[in-house]
Amino acid sequence: MTIKDLEIGQTARIDEVGGEGALRQHFLDMGVIPGAEVTLVRLAPMGDPMELRIHGYELTLRLADADQIQATLLEKQQEQNSDKKTKHDIAHPGLGEEGKFHPKGSGNPLPKGELLTFALVGNQNSGKTTLFNQLTGSNQHVGNFPGVTVDRKDGAIRGKENTSITDLPGIYSMSPYSSEELVSRDFVLNEKPKAIINIVDATNMERNLYLTMQLLEMNVPMVVALNMMDELRGNGGSVDINRMEMMLGVPVVPISAAKNEGIDELVAHALHIARYQERPQVDDFCDENDHGGAVHRCIHAVIHLIEDHAKRASLPVRFAAAKAIEKDEQMIARLQLDDNEIETLEHITKQMEKERGLDRSAAMADMRFSFIGKVCDECVIKPRESKEHLRSQRIDRWLTGKYTAIPIFIGVMALVFFLTFNVIGAWLQGLLETGIGALSDVVDAALTAADVNETVHELVIGGIFEGVGSVLSFLPIIVTMFFFLSILEDSGYIARVAFFMDKMLRRIGLSGRSIVPLLIGFGCTVPAVMSTRTLPSDRDRKMTILLTPFMSCTAKLPIYTFFVAAFFPGRGWMVITLLYFTGIVLGIFAALFFKKVRFKGEAVPFVMELPNYRLPSARNVVQLLWEKAKDFLTRAFTVIFLATVIVWVLQSFDTHLNLVSDQKDSILAMISGWLVPIFAPIGLGDWRICTSLISGFMAKESVVSVLEVLFGGGVSTAMSTLTASCLLVFSLLYTPCVAAIASIKREMGAKWAVCVVLWQCAVAWLAAGVVYLVGTLFFA
Ligand code: GDP
Ligand code: MG
């Protein structure tokens, strides 16, 4: 049988993992290896994918993939009693005692003043962001890894001079399965941080230590931060830290990032190992007695075979050997083996496969998991059942339940939008608007009193205050939106959404994971495009990027809220919801079109962890809000400010650079006049509207401010409801702003970026045309 044939609650032992290539490697890395036991927890509401329990955590798998995994059904058996060891608290060495791993004072410390660089590496959902925020405080710099758009955060450790810690993306292994894994691996190999801080989720040790072992192979000074100890302890679990340090050969520090426990000790250890360059003292995890020692002999043979090459390529030899055995093309290329050596490598590996009875990847994964098994057996006293897991299961009965999942999801999203646009965000917005209005009045009075030149006065009040002021007042909505989104993400709900939306998204040729970038697209297209990096296939990434412009971003909200307030009073949120859904529906059509025409083939497999529900940390949420607000403000005060001023200049002068008395004579009117014939058939044939749409390309927020300037504040009286509707639909769909196009260009190249601009404009033109036609036929 295969895993697909399991019934809910049944357990099976995996015999063979089928499939091939990167996906199969990913299965193995996630712990889906021969010998592992899996239990089917539930099927997604739409019947696919399935949720499995393996190595004590929840994994999602599509039925088609599950069908490739052979397994034997196990008889219903009593839960194995794991209390062979009873709970007792085990002290671990404090820093003062320093223990085995810190040869006090001996050794050669790095020169004082040398920058100690750290890489923070860990699985997704292990608490990495929480720890990073604890370590660095607000002292962070967000950027990009060169060449790819994977977020890179740097910061100095609080109160420690000459330190710099880099937050690497959350990954499960060092195989080049996704760009995240590649980035992390290249960072450690090429940028050579002085030390690694490896964060491990103590409640999920089996899977987390898999990455730890690959990190140990890299032979960089390392300290393991055992996170979530509060949860483990709370459930009666415990870890023999001393024993674990012995087995792993690196310092292990129990912490709770969320509760700020053990952080100081972690920092002290990290600084110490970095300064004294204490490398891991154990790197030989393959046991010569394990299944006849085939894997052990193979690894050591390959180590000797490639030793000189690894040294020349300055790669850690054990890591390079492991990757060479796994047939990691990139690593083999870097080693520059000659034909003979490649052949020898192949022979050695083949022999191992034959003796071990498993193929190379499975054998290596199995070797790692058997070591981890030993570590866990000896060091970890597992709680029988964790409160958090039980709680998650209870919650999931509803949130991923067959009939409840999707209604609840719709409800949650509706609530988020309602609270953002009608309650909290709107309230904050009013507050800020009042403030800006007051400030504008004060400046106006001051300028009049100082008898400032008329033109400058007009620019300041008419251009800058009206324009930027109206944009700024939307900041509260953006912040509120991200407040809710970050809570949903951190609590673990978004992962569930990806799980039960998978089948639906697959219909349009995507995977459930794409729901995350698409959802973020409702916030801002820029991070949405960037977050497609988590998708492991180029095809899915490109397609998701092309769909994000259909997800109405928050920058378009100023346009919606403005027109809705003016033309659809009292029905505001209904019209806005309708707009959002129009975007989604057209996005679906676009996806089907792309699938047929450009991106044939199947979506990537869907292998994902469903973490326990956890309380989001306030600090993380605040940090994220701060980042988003900062990002928005920089854009508002650079791009939009400039756009407003340029538009004001173009609009105030004629081609002879004389001040115009009537805006009809301005340069901008002339430029926009050329566009009027194009926009006339869709009811937008007004040069002022064309002008605002042009400036909207620089930043969507400025459409309203420019309209306000051009119509002299009388937009709501100058336009008909039909024109407003056409404009709404056109702004919903036409080209994303410059910043978004720039990030699309980074991901997909200039050609694609230009295509997106033209394609979105064409779609918008057609859609607005339909609205205009229907409007004139039935309502005029
Ligand atoms: P990341 O995906 O690795 O960046 O993980 P996050 O830092 O976003 O944390 C995931 C969730 O775990 C958040 O809801 C955190 O509040 C929570 N969390 C992080 N560290 C701890 C901890 O030490 N104890 C507990 N109970 N929860 C934690
Ligand atoms: Mg995170």
pLDDT digits (tens, 9 = 90+) for 648-663: 777 777 888 777 777 6
Q: Is the CB of 254 under 6 A from ligand 1?
A: no
User: What was the pLDDT predicted at 467?
Assistant: 62
State yes or no: pLDDT of 26 exceeds 90. no
Q: What is the mean pLDDT of residues 599-622?
A: 81
Average predicted confidence (pLDDT) for the chain: 85
Ligand located closest to 133 CA: 1
Q: Give pLDDT tens digits for 280-295.
A: 888 788 888 888 899 9
Judged against a pLDDT cut of 70, whether residue 605 lies above it is answered with no
Q: Is the CB of 39 under 6 A from ligand 1?
A: no
Q: What percent of the chain has pLDDT over 70?
A: 89
Closest CA to 525 of 762, 751, 750, 733: 733
Residue 124 beta carbon below 6 angstroms from any ligand 1 atom: yes
pLDDT at 470 exceeding the cut of 70:
no
- What is the pLDDT confidence band of residue 590, given thresholds at 50, 70 and 90? very high
Residue 257 Cβ contacting ligand 1 at under 6 Å: yes
Q: Which residues contact 390 (CB under 8 A, 6 or more apart)?
A: none
Q: d(Cα 140, Cα 606) in Å, to the nearest integer?
A: 33
CA of 132 to the centre of ligand 1 (A): 11
Whether the CB of 166 sits within 6 Å of ligand 1: no
> Residues within 5 Å of ion ligand 2 by Cβ?
129
Lookup result for tokens 């939306």: 501
Q: Which residue matches tokens 């923070």?
A: 120
- Is pLDDT at 255 greater than 60 in this prediction? yes
The pLDDT assigned to 133 comes to 94
Given a contact cutoff of 8 angstroms between Cβ atoms, the answer to whether 741 and 749 are in contact is: no
Ligand 1: residue of 614, 615, 624 to mutate (most ligand atoms within 8 A of CB) is: 614
Structure tokens at 640: 């939009």
The mean per-residue pLDDT over the stretch 55-81 comes to 82
Mean per-residue pLDDT for 177-205?
89
Q: Which atom of ligand 1 is nearest to the CA of 388?
A: 26
* Residue with the two structure tokens 């051009």: 710
Instruction: Tell me what pLDDT residue 193 has.
Output: 95
Quickly state the pLDDT bin for 179 (edges 50, 70, 90): confident
pTM of the full structure: 0.83
Atom number, ligand 1, closest to the C-alpha of residue 170: 3
Mean pLDDT of the 639-645 span: 64
The pLDDT value given to residue 81: 46
Amino acid 356: pLDDT: 93
- Are 713 and 731 in contact, with CB atoms under 8 Å apart? no
Going by pLDDT thresholds of 50, 70 and 90, the confidence category of residue 151 is confident
The confidence score (pLDDT) of residue 98 equals 47
Residue nearest to atom 21 of ligand 1 (CA): 258
Q: Are 525 and 553 in contact (CB under 8 A)?
A: yes
Tell me the mean pLDDT in the region 535-561: 85
Among 372-381, 470-479, 675-684, 706-715, the least confident range: 470-479
* pLDDT on residue 96: 44
Task: Give the pLDDT confidence score for residue 83 in this predicted structure.
Answer: 46
Which range among 84-93, 644-653, 737-746 shows the weakest confidence by mean pLDDT? Answer: 84-93
Is residue 136 predicted with pLDDT exceeding 50? yes
Helix (H) or strand (E) run with residue 59 in it: strand 57-61
CA-based nearest residue to 432, from 477, 462, 464 = 477
Atom of ligand 1 nearest to the CA of 133: 7
- 531 neighbors 551 (Cβ within 8 angstroms): no
Ranked by mean pLDDT, which of 235-239, 383-387, 712-716 comes out on top?
Answer: 235-239
